[in-house]
Amino acid sequence: MFWVGVAVVVVGLLASIAWHELGHLLPAKKFGVLVPQYMIGFGPTILSRRRGETEYGLKALPLGGYIRMIGMFPGESTLPAALARRRDPAAVTGWRRRLRTIAAEARQFSDEEVPAGAEHRTFAALSVPRRLVIMAGGRWRTSCSRSCCSPSR
């Protein structure tokens, strides 16, 4: 009986995570963003299936999930040149230098994974309201506004 309870909790957790990530995936796809992965869990992939340009899968540790969107960080070429000094790691010392280095590496990696000719399909190319809809989509998807689900006062 104990293992039945464990299985119910794990399946419920996976369903909750899948529902949350779907809240990010649907608006991203609707707005035309390239989404190469929709994964439930972390660690090694247990099973996966590719449909179109997206790989849907289940990973070994059911402790979260993610969708990978192309171009999450704007490239150096799309950022304002006037603020380049604020992004330069050499301009500061200590922990600020490390943070700026991490950000610069993330921007560089993000630039490298954008396919040629698909710059308009990146997350960073979207308008701010559309980016907000995608980011908040996970929250909206997991909340319930029905009276049966809201806490009683």
Which amino acids are annotated catalytic?
21
Write out the two tokens for 145.
């506004």
Q: Which residues contact 90 (CB under 8 A, 6 or more apart)?
A: 97
Return the bridge partners of 65, or none. Answer: 40
Cα separation, 19 vs 6, whole angstroms: 20
